[in-house]
Amino acid sequence: MTAPVTYSRDGDIAAICIDNPPVNAMGADVRAALVSAFEEFSADSAARIAVLYGTGRTFVAGADIREFGKTPKEPLLPDLINRIEALDKPVLCVMHGSTLGGGLELAMGAHVRLGLPGLKLGLPETSLGILPGAGGTQRLPRLAGMEAALEMIVSARHVGAEEARALGILDALADEGAEPLAAGREMAARLLSEGVALRRTCDLPAPEIMAEKLAEIRAYAVKRYPGQIAQLTAIDAAIEGAALPFHDGVKHERRLFMRLIESPQRAALIHAFFAERKVAQLPELAGIIPRPHGQIGVIGGGRMGSGIAVAALLAGLDVTLIERDAEAAAIAQAAVAQTLGESVKRGKLSKDKRAHILSESFRAAHDHAALAECDVVIEAVFEDMEIKRDVFRALDQHCRPGAVLATNTSYLEIPQIAAATSRPADVLGLHFFSPAHVMRLLEIVVPEGTAPDTVATGFALGKKLRKVSVRAGVCDGFIGNRILQVYRAAADHMVLAGASPYQVDQAVTGFGFPMGPYAVQDLAGLDIGYMTRQRKAATRDSREFVPRWGDVMHERGWYGRKTQQGYYSYGPDHPRGAPSAEVEEIIAAERAERGVTPRSFTDEEIIARYMAAMVNEAAKVVGEGIAARPLDVDVTLLHGYGFPRCRGGPMHWADTQGLESLLHQIEGFQNEDAYFWQAAPLLQELVAKGATFASLNET
């Protein structure tokens, strides 16, 4: 086995190389090897300066994720960095690729830092429920200033090489095309000739920050990461540590770091981190080669279709968008151009790149024949089975053999859509979430009979679009919308029983969701819910409770935000909505018609029922194979439905609460409505075995 760290010397310049593919993660073996290498450097009287660098595509991309949640092994990273910083000979660190977390902390312990073009660096620990625990909260403020350091730590964002140089994190930038070792040797030789002096970051003065700026950063952390404790704890570590002697500040940082390590939020965020990386790893796709997917067709230029087109264009793909006539095509063309213009304003796209995309990579037409050379065609038209089947008949006629034909339906039976073609093996669902160029979730819905390379193409396209892709089976609503219908129904049951929609929303946002179920319906449009109820009416079980107040609101023309009235009233004085007395009157009238005497609910009781319904239906979804594993549900709810990330997803949350107590709750609710509260067989099975949802994630 190749050593993860090697020491060599050429003249008076030593070279310490980290070679631990694929990303030079700072595992225990790497840390131990670095200690040995620096001891050798210290003892080598002929070596006057050391160049620390990494091989491969990156310097050090952070800690070894295999060690997350385990007892730390010595040597600990803070001790290693302190030993490097205390050396009496200079260390030059050369950074390239992604230098993140412990990699940046290691670099800040060196005496000089050189960056290569294309470098991205950052401290992403707060996104994992922890804080930079190897001196990051103490050294970064000394290099970049307290305000810039706190902004980087709280947001966990990556900083480019030019910005890092401007902030003082880097001492110099290498030329374009430079290699780490060669650039490091060149700079080391120059430093020796100029008479380099040791510059230890720990000896720099601790910076201060204006009280107003600190308050702004705290307010941003609370608003942007509701309910999460890592961001505020990291701020405390930096501010409180700056008031102490440096090494006391590092010890204080470490105490807060260890406190976060024991936090349930850390476990939840780490679970989310691993789940997102595992969700697209499907054994059935091993070795399957995707079909070409560089030329994309989109049918429909509305909000969803234009969003899909923009997502593909931003990913560097060629896009042809089809609308029903020339006028509609022109409107769609303008919508895409406007959205790309907004990307320019946000600094995500250059003006020249936008112009190139619109002139070379995008076109809108009204003839399906324009799709003849497309590799993948995505239908995004009105949610009506016959309309979609008509589209697929046209695609079957005009698209080349082997082209993947995808539908963006949210609910409809994809096999029925595929049956309109002569090539059902080429058909699958690609369920985007609106706005499609922003939302990261992509449900890849796989009907029986879809070819494996069709599925592989869906996942390859999702990766190209930078989506988090989840495999889903065929049922009404797939994974996310099927579960959504049930926990929304649980909310309706509570409103009928006496809770107000506004208390339900308040309880749900207090739990960590960005919006409650009734505010979400207003945002989506109450007409959408009405059409769904109409579509399902013919096959609905007579025992199912469906409230009539939504139909009454629809009859009055109350569609939510777009009509300024839904569950909430909207206007200049309350753009986010204000509770509506008229809505409460409509609900009260239905209670009276049904003979319901309203009772009060606590927020805790609302969350207990809301979450029990969510987890129980999710267990049915996993048990039926609609979702392959519980982690697929967690990722879907995290990225498509606003589930609070610091709780890890509904299945992880259920494990932390205890499945036996959850099942007991559901069995208790059965006394009120035995039809709605039917315990999932999988939940019952796991409780009987004493197992957890997590135990199923290895399949």
Quick one: average pLDDT of 414-423?
A: 97
Give the pLDDT of residue 1.
58
Vertex 486: Cα angle to 481 and 492 (nearest 5): 120
CA distance 135 to 79: 10
* Cα–Cα distance for residue pair 554/531, rounded to 1 Å: 10
Give phi and psi for 661, each to the nearest 5. -65, -35
Average pLDDT over residues 476-490: 96
Note whether residue 272 is domain-resident: no
Decide: 655 and 494 in contact? Cβ < 8 Å.
Answer: no
Question: Of 85, 125, 253, 379, which one is the catalytic site residue?
Answer: 125
Q: Which of 674, 566, 548, 677 is nearest to 612 (CA)?
A: 677
pLDDT class of 72 with cuts at 50, 70, 90: confident
Nearest alpha-carbon partner for 482 in 402, 410, 396: 410
| Average pLDDT of span 273-285 | 92
Q: Are residues 146 and 35 in the same domain?
A: yes
Domain with residue 24: its CATH number is: 3.90.226.10
In a domain, 485, yes or no: no
Alpha carbon separation from 606 to 64, 122, 501, 574, 603 (Å, rounded): 40, 40, 11, 26, 5
Give the separation between CA 683 and CA 680, rounded to whole angstroms: 5
Q: Is 68 inside a domain boundary?
A: yes
Residues 225 and 183 in one domain: yes
- The answer on pLDDT for 70 being more than 80 is no
Above pLDDT 70, what percent of the chain? 99
The 10s digit of each residue's pLDDT in 212-223 is 999 999 999 999
User: Do residues 58 and 192 both lie within one domain?
Assistant: yes
The DSSP code sequence of 549-611 is: HHHHHHHTT--BGGGTBSSEEEETTEEEEEE-HHHHHHHHHHHHHHT-------HHHHHHHHH
Per residue in 656-692, pLDDT (tens digit) is 999 999 999 999 999 999 999 999 999 999 999 999 9
260 within 8 A of 283, measured Cβ to Cβ: no
Pick from 351, 334, 343: which is nearest to 314 by CA? 343
Q: What 3-state DSSP class applies to 34?
A: helix
Is 216 annotated in the active site? Answer: no
* Residue ranges making up the domain that contains 91: 5-262
Residue that finishes a domain, picked among 554, 577, 599: 599
- 442 with 532, same domain? no
Tell me how far apart the alpha carbons of residues 351 and 345 are, in angstroms, rounded to a whole number: 9
613: tokens are 């319904």
Residue 115 backbone phi and psi in degrees, to 5: -110, 145
Alpha-carbon gap, residue 99 to 66, rounded angstroms: 18
Instruction: Report whether pLDDT(66) > 80.
Output: no
Q: CA nearest 580: which of 570, 592, 588, 594?
A: 570
Q: How would you classify residue 678: left for phi > 0, otherwise alpha for psi between -120 and 50, otherwise beta? A: beta
**Residue 699's pLDDT band (boundaries 50, 70, 90)?**
low
**pLDDT score recorded for residue 163:** 97
Is the whole model's pTM more than 0.95, yes or no? no
CB atoms within 10 A of CB 522: 26
Final residue of a structural domain among 583, 599, 615: 599
Whether 567 is covered by a domain: the verdict is: yes
Q: What is the DSSP letter of 26?
A: B
Handedness of CA 649, 653, 659, 661 (dihedral sign): negative
Question: 338 burial class (0-12, 13-18, 19+ CB within 10 angstroms)?
Answer: exposed
The answer as to whether 238 is a domain residue is yes
Question: What is the mean predicted confidence (pLDDT) over 377-383?
Answer: 95
Task: Based on the fold, state whether residues 427 and 564 are members of the same structural domain.
Answer: no
Q: Across residues 87-111, what is the average pLDDT?
A: 97
Residue 309, judged by CB atoms within 10 A of its CB (0-12, 13-18, 19+), counts as buried
- 108 and 242 in one domain? yes
Question: Is 50 in the same domain as 182?
Answer: yes
Q: How many structural domains does the chain have?
A: 3
Q: pLDDT tens digits, residue range 193-208?
A: 998 889 999 999 999 9
User: What pLDDT, in 10s, does the model give residues 27-56?
Assistant: 999 999 999 999 999 999 999 999 999 999
CA 629, 630, 634, 636 dihedral sign is: positive
- The per-residue pLDDT for 633 is 98
Residues 425 and 510 in one domain: no
Predicted confidence at residue 536, as pLDDT, reads 85
**Which one, of 630, 611, 613, lies nearest residue 694 by Cα?**
630
Q: How far is CA 162 from the centre of its chain?
A: 26
Q: Assess whether 380 and 516 both reside in one domain.
A: no
> pLDDT band for position 71 (50/70/90)?
confident
Please check whether residue 523 lies inside any domain of the structure.
Answer: yes
What is the domain-level CATH number for residue 465? 3.40.50.720
Residues 305 and 227 in one domain: no
pLDDT band of residue 69 (cuts 50, 70, 90) is low
Q: How high is the pLDDT of residue 532?
A: 86
- 373 is annotated as an active-site residue: no
Query: In what helix (H) or strand (E) does residue 203 lie, and over which residues does it extend?
Result: none
Residue 103, in any domain of the structure:
yes
Tens digits of per-residue pLDDT, 440-468?
Answer: 999 999 999 999 999 999 999 999 999 99
- Is residue 408's pLDDT more than 70? yes
Greatest distance between any 2 Cα atoms in the chain: 93
**Beta bridge pairs of residue 445:** 429, 472
Is the pLDDT at 635 greater than 70? The verdict is yes
Q: Which of 85, 105, 323, 443 is catalytic?
A: 105
pLDDT higher than threshold 70 for residue 479: yes
Q: 237: which 2 tokens?
A: 């570590």
- Based on the domain organization, do 439 and 337 belong to the same domain? yes
Answer whether residue 148 is part of any domain: yes
Specify whether 245 is located in the same domain as 327: no
Q: Which of 599, 630, 658 is the last residue before a domain boundary?
A: 599
Model confidence at 255, pLDDT cuts 50, 70, 90, reads very high
Please give the pLDDT value at position 158: 95
